[in-house]
């Protein structure tokens, strides 16, 4: 006789894993979060960034399941990953110099590329903003089919979310360009949303994708999958100045909703974040960010005499029409 399947236990599922939160503690070993109303909460690492039963699919009895275990590997290797990031070099050339002089190619061993893909895809796939997009889309479908307006429950969100990790990870493992941005003069912030144009669908991951993900107070990850880019280098680094760090932090405030993490430098809240609710730039287009991603993705060593160069292709920014930094925002998610 088969043993009955054990019922799912109530669990806290972290979208901001404890192994990552450990690197956001201030000298007093506390993590700080600022809400849209400006209220600051402080607690030990791991107390923020979790949703109860977020990855459980409670269908009833033996059909209950969970996909929480798929995040065990990326969460478990964050410490090793952070150690590796600290070994990467970045040019000390000042921000007043041309971008081609500031970007530096770095080796990317296959095992590190796979690790980059796992960690980045895991943080993207379980982010609250992705869950919010699923909830919004599901509600729209229900309305279109005449289903009475009801709250989209966690199981329905999880059913739509469960395959996203693999869908995001697969292209990251084999294609695209990675960039590691180092902020030396000012700290990055992080949130429950970040700048990207990945869909909340496992069937729609293709070229044109981009993301900018703050992972540490001193390091931000960028991933670019333009329609074409130089095959090498697979990884570049860039040291950003205070103004550039501020611009990157503003992107976070647009895409975040209720959580902004900071270590020691409390951010000044923008009206878009204070309004409370995930937002986005129209078509996820942003002048400064897209031009930055163009430079990072098109950098190569194919210039005259094998010197560094940046290809003229402008695949992220060529369709922009002069939007200001925060001029054109999409609707409230």
Please, are residues 44 and 52 in contact by the beta-carbon 8 Å criterion? no
The model carries a pTM of 0.90
The pLDDT of residue 324 is above 50: no
Encoded tokens for 81: 């990953």
Residue 277: φ, ψ to 5°: 145, 135
The per-residue pLDDT for range 59-88, each reduced to its tens digit, is: 776 778 898 999 999 999 999 999 999 999
Give the CA angle between residues 197, 198, 203 to the nearest 5°: 140
CA distance 137 to 205: 17
Please, are residues 228 and 300 in contact by the beta-carbon 8 Å criterion? no
How many CB atoms are located within 10 Å of the residue 11 CB? 15
- Number of helices and strands (H, E) in the chain? 11, 15
Give the CA angle between residues 126, 286, 116 to the nearest 5°: 40
CA distance 262 to 279: 20
Looking at residue 322, what is its pLDDT? Answer: 39
What's the mean pLDDT when you consider all of the chain?
Answer: 88
Encoded tokens for 49: 């960034």
The per-residue pLDDT for range 105-146, each reduced to its tens digit, is: 999 999 999 999 999 999 999 999 999 999 887 766 555 655
Looking at residue 114, what is its pLDDT? Answer: 98
Task: Mention every residue, 6+ apart, whose C-beta is less than 8 A from residue 77.
Answer: 115, 118, 119
Please name the residue that has the structure tokens 């990207």.
196
């Amino acid at each position: 006789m088969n043993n009955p399947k054990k019922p799912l236990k109530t669990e806290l599922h972290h979208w901001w894993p404890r192994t990552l939160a450990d690197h956001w503690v201030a000298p007093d070993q506390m993590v700080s979060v600022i809400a849209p109303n400006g209220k600051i909460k402080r607690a030990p690492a791991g107390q923020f960034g979790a949703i109860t039963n977020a990855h459980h699919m409670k269908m009833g009895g033996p059909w209950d399941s969970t996909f929480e275990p798929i995040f065990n590997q990326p969460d478990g290797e964050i410490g090793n990953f952070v150690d590796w990031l600290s070994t990467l070099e970045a040019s000390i050339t000042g921000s007043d110099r041309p971008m081609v002089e500031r970007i530096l190619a770095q080796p990317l061993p296959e095992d590190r590329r796979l690790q980059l893909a796992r960690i980045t895809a895991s943080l993207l796939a379980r982010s609250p903003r992705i869950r919010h997009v699923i909830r919004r889309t599901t509600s729209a479908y229900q309305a279109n089919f005449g289903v009475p307006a009801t709250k989209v429950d966690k199981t329905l969100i999880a059913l739509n979310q469960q395959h996203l990790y693999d869908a995001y990870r697969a292209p990251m493992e084999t294609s695209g360009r990675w960039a590691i941005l180092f902020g030396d003069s000012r700290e990055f912030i992080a949130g429950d949303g970040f700048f990207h144009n990945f869909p909340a669908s496992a069937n729609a991951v293709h070229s044109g994708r981009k993301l900018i993900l703050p992972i540490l107070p001193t390091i931000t990850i960028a991933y670019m999958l333009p329609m074409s880019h130089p095959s090498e280098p697979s990884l570049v680094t860039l040291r950003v100045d205070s103004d550039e760090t501020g611009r990157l932090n503003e992107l976070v405030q647009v895409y975040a909703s209720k959580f902004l993490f900071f270590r020691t430098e409390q951010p000044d809240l923008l009206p878009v974040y204070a309004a409370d609710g995930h937002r986005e730039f129209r078509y996820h287009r942003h002048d400064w960010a897209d031009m930055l991603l163009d430079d990072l993705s098109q950098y190569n060593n194919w210039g005259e005499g094998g010197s560094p160069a940046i290809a003229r292709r402008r695949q992220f920014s060529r369709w922009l029409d002069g939007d200001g930094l925060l001029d054109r925002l999409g609707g409230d998610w």
